[in-house]
């Protein structure tokens, strides 16, 4: 279970403070897939970083009682001067798993061939996305945090990712943030909407979409 | 889970993370190409050799009967030890920001990995050069190895504490890095690397003995040359100084840990 209680996140900006997340509450149980809808800049990525523990909340608590992934996105979480393989080794060391037996999967899935031995900073964004997703699938978690995973390269690779994440790992909990209601509808049982720092949860995803569309129209 | 096992598990994770960061530092600093991590030894070794050569040509031996190679070796190695750690820790977070997406990778781990690597490099080069110089007859073996080890450890402690402080402060303000560079050059001649405190007038001694690294270098030299020199040091003073610096450094690390945002 993941329990988010009264979480507030403020950032210092020029001339004051900005409250990005304002008293957020959310509970995610084992095996549940929750979607969080929000427009660009609504604080979705901040929320997912807080849940992952990469950043700390200004106040409030986040309790993790199952293993939680880092925020999976197509980029980030990699050191650019290291090669693809060295990034794999780093992540395996950090999460306490063996790396050499994961290399065949990484090669097969990422289709990067000899580029795996080149520094990640020389990769194109599509190559980075393939590496990122493949490495993300190497370490197993009870709960995966997924940040805008939809922006991935061609449709064939997109299908491969969907199969790996949503079919092979259908028993895991997931928290998915996105601005796309269609994507959330396809993969989540519950949905919540993040508007102006407030998170509103709905048991019925359709209600969430209505609320999201209404609030989007209001702001626009 | 009992408290004991929670602690040992946390320690296990921390060692794992520091180990992973160590490998990551070794790879990006020394790369997989050419002679790779041997540079860890060779870099400081070349510095020490150069300084020994300069010192010999400049006639430093006219001031004292102390063997010049050993004097330069002990002096410059100790400078490398305490000065390079802050250098390596200042602005150390930015190239690692992307890795901080992983919850268990903390600011203090990044500093720890760099400190371990720096201490290992400086120590390995000090030992290797000492053995080489002794083998070819440039210097005599040290008189009291335990004293040397103690002095070396105290200098490493001082360097680490200073590095934590400089590293943390450099994240908060650009100015810190800009000030540290000239400060480190100014501290070099004052650090005891190029003189013994006993050679100086009384009022200069009083002033210089405020600097903690001077005590470490004096003890190091006493360990090396024994009765040939009269060393001035107060290791209790150095320990208290180091302790205060460590607490200050760790508190600043804690402050920035709360504000670091992964890339």
Q: What is the pLDDT of residue B163?
A: 97
111-170 in chain A: CB under 8 A from chain B: none
pLDDT tens profile A57-109: 999 999 999 999 998 876 678 888 899 999 999 999 999 999 999 999 999 98
Which residues of chain A have a CB within 8 Å of the CB of B105? 94
Q: What pLDDT, on a 0 to 100 scale, did the predictor assign at position B256? A: 92
| Set of chain A residues whose Cβ sits within 8 Å of the Cβ of B93 | none
B30 CA to centre of own chain: 19
Residues A135-174 pLDDT 10s: 989 999 999 998 876 555 678 888 888 888 888 999 999 9
The per-residue pLDDT for range B127-170, each reduced to its tens digit, is: 988 898 899 888 889 999 999 999 999 999 999 999 999 999 99
3-state secondary structure at position A127: helix
Q: In chain B, which residues have their Cβ closer than 8 Å to the Cβ of A82?
A: 24, 27-28
Which strand (E) or helix (H) includes residue A25? strand A16-28
Average pLDDT, chain B: 88
Q: Helix, strand, or coil here: A72?
A: strand
Tens digits of per-residue pLDDT, A20-67?
999 999 999 999 999 999 988 888 889 999 999 999 999 999 999 999
> Testing the interface with A: which of B102, B109, B260 to mutate, by most A Cβ within 10 A?
B102
Q: What is the pLDDT of residue B64?
A: 65
Please list every residue in chain A whose beta carbon sits closer than 8 Å to the beta carbon of residue B258. 56
Residue A220 has pLDDT above 60, yes or no: no
Can you tell me the distance from the alpha carbon of A128 to that of A40, in angstroms, rounded to the nearest whole number? 22
CA–centroid distance for B18 within its chain: 18
Q: Which of A18, A20, A54, A72 to mutate to test the interface with B (most CBs of B within 10 A)?
A: A54
In whole angstroms, give the CA distance from residue B23 to residue B33.
15
Determine, for residues B23 and A89 on separate chains, whether the beta-carbon distance falls below 8 Å: yes
Using the predicted structure, report yes or no on whether residue B180 has a pLDDT greater than 60.
yes
Specify the pLDDT at position B1: 47
Q: What is the pTM of this model?
A: 0.89
ipTM reported for the complex, 2 dp: 0.86
Percent of chain B surpassing pLDDT 90: 54
Q: Tokens at residue A109, please?
A: 């899935």
Tell me the pLDDT of chain A averaged across its residues: 88
Q: A181 CB contacts (<8 Å, ≥6 apart)?
A: A37, A209, A212, A213
Residue A208: in which H helix or E strand, if any?
helix A205-219
Asked whether A141 and A67 are in contact (CB, 8 A), the reply is: yes
How far is the C-alpha of A196 from the C-alpha of A23, rounded, in Å? 11
Q: For B187-210, how does the pLDDT look when each residue is reduced to its tens digit (9 = 90+)?
A: 988 998 888 898 889 999 999 999
Q: Which of B98, B105, B262 sits opposite A94 (nearest CB)?
A: B105
Which residue in this structure is represented by tokens 């997989």?
Answer: B32
CB-CB under 8 Å, B17 with A94: yes
Give how far Cα B32 sits from Cα of B44, B194, B221, Å.
Answer: 20, 37, 37
Q: How far apart are CA B67 and CA B138, in angstroms?
A: 8
Is residue A178 within 8 angstroms of chain B, CB to CB? no
């Amino acid at each position: 279970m993941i329990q988010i209680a009264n979480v507030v996140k403020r950032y210092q900006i020029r001339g004051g403070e900005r409250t990005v997340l304002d008293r957020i509450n959310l509970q995610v149980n084992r095996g549940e897939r929750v979607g969080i809808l929000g427009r660009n800049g609504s604080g979705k990525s901040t929320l997912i970083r807080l849940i992952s523990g990469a950043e700390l909340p200004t106040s409030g608590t986040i309790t993790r009682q199952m293993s939680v992934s880092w925020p999976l996105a197509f980029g980030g979480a990699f050191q650019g001067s290291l090669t693809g393989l060295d990034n794999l080794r780093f992540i395996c060391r950090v999460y306490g798993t063996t790396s050499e037996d994961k290399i065949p999967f990484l090669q097969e899935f990422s289709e990067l061939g000899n580029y795996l031995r080149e520094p990640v900073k020389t990769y194109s964004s599509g190559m980075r996305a393939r590496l990122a997703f493949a490495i993300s699938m190497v370490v197993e978690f009870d709960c995966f945090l997924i940040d805008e995973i939809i922006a991935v390269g061609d449709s064939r690779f997109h299908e491969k990712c969907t199969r790996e994440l949503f079919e092979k790992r259908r028993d895991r909990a997931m928290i998915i943030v996105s601005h796309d209601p269609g994507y959330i509808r396809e993969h989540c049982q519950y949905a919540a909407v993040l508007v102006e720092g407030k998170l509103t949860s709905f048991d019925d995803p359709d209600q969430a979409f209505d609320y999201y569309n209404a609030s989007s129209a209001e702001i626009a | 889970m009992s408290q004991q096992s929670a602690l040992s598990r946390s320690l296990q994770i921390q060692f794992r993370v520091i180990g992973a960061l160590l490998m990551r530092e070794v790879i990006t600093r020394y790369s997989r190409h050419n002679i790779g991590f041997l540079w860890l030894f060779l870099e400081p070794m070349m510095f020490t050799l150069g300084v020994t050569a300069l010192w010999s040509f400049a006639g430093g031996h006219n001031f004292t009967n102390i063997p010049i190679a050993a004097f330069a070796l002990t002096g410059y190695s100790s400078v490398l030890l305490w000065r390079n750690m802050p250098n390596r820790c200042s602005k150390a977070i930015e190239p690692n920001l992307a890795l901080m997406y992983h919850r268990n990778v903390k600011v203090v781990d990044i500093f720890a990995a760099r400190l371990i690597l720096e201490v290992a490099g400086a120590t390995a080069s000090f030992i290797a050069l000492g053995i080489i110089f002794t083998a070819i007859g440039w210097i005599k073996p040290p008189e009291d190895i335990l004293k040397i080890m103690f002095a070396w450890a105290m200098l490493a402690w001082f360097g680490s504490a200073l590095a934590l402080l400089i590293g943390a402060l450099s994240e908060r303000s650009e100015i810190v890095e800009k000030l540290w560079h000239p400060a480190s050059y100014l501290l070099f001649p004052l650090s005891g690397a190029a003189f013994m405190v006993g050679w100086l007038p009384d009022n200069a001694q009083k002033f210089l003995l405020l600097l903690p690294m001077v005590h470490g270098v004096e003890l190091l030299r006493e360990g090396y040359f024994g009765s040939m020199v009269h060393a001035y040091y107060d290791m209790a003073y150095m320990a208290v100084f180091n302790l205060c610096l460590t607490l200050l450094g760790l508190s600043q690390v804690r402050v920035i840990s709360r504000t670091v945002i992964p890339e």
